[in-house]
Each structure stands twice: as C-alpha cells, then as structure tokens.
Amino acid sequence: MNDSMNRTISTCILLVALTTASASALADPQLVLLPKVAVTVRFADLKTETARGAHILYSRINRAAVEVCGRSSGSFYPTVARLQKSCVSATVDHVVAQLSLPTLTALHLEKAQHQRIMAERQADNQ
C-alpha cells in the first residue's frame, strides 16, 4: 500500500472516528448541543512522523473535535461546558487511537498528562 492510499484510508477512519466518538460522548438526551454529522481532517500535506507534523495534525484534530462537539456557552451553563469539554476529549482520544501514529500518540499522551496535572492543581486551589 502506498503512502497516498494510507493517508486516504486514515482520513476515512478519522472522519468516522470523529462522528462516532462525538455521538457517543454526547449521548445525554438533556444536552442542548447536537454533534455535526462529520468533519474531514486532511493531513496528506504533513509528515506525521515529525514533531512538527504531529503538532499540526493534533491541532487540526482538536479543532475538528470542537466543531463536531459544538461550542458551549460555558459562562451561563457550566454543565454544558463540561460536557462539551468531555466530548472533545473523548473524540480526540478516539481519533488518536484509531490513527495509531507513534509521534501523534506520544504527543497526545504528553498533553493529556499535562491537562491532568493542571486539573489537579486547579482542584487543589479551590
């Protein structure tokens, strides 16, 4: 399989993953936000084995996850903001796992650990 075919397959997997992960993360019937059907993230232009390429792809995945999960009005509805954040996180987790790109996975694990540390610090300060 050539590189172009791999990226096409990966793009399809990414598209399906964004749709399914967001739908399952937003399964709460009380939630006002509805996920979009699908968002395509293209990355054929990136060298995903490099740190720079992985960072750019990770950013694209995050933006797509926010788009799929919807934007919340967190200042007025903290529960909706929390659910939206949870949807984005679950969607990114799922997509990164599905793509199975070592540099992207390492970056994701690093960012997830940083977010856990920051959340713990914030909880300690309250």
* DSSP code string of the chain: --HHHHHHHHHHHHHHHHHHHHHHHT--TT------S------TTS-TTSHHHHHHHHHHHHHHHHHHH----TTT-HHHHHHHHHHHHHHHHHHHHHH--HHHHHHHHHHHHHHHHHHHHHHHH-
Give the pTM.
0.69
Provide the domain count of the chain: 1
- The tens-digit pLDDT sequence of the chain (126 residues) is 445 545 555 555 565 555 555 555 444 444 444 455 678 889 999 999 999 999 999 999 999 988 888 765 555 677 777 888 888 888 899 999 999 999 999 999 999 888 888 878 877 887
Q: Which domain covers residue 26, as residue numbers?
A: 3-125
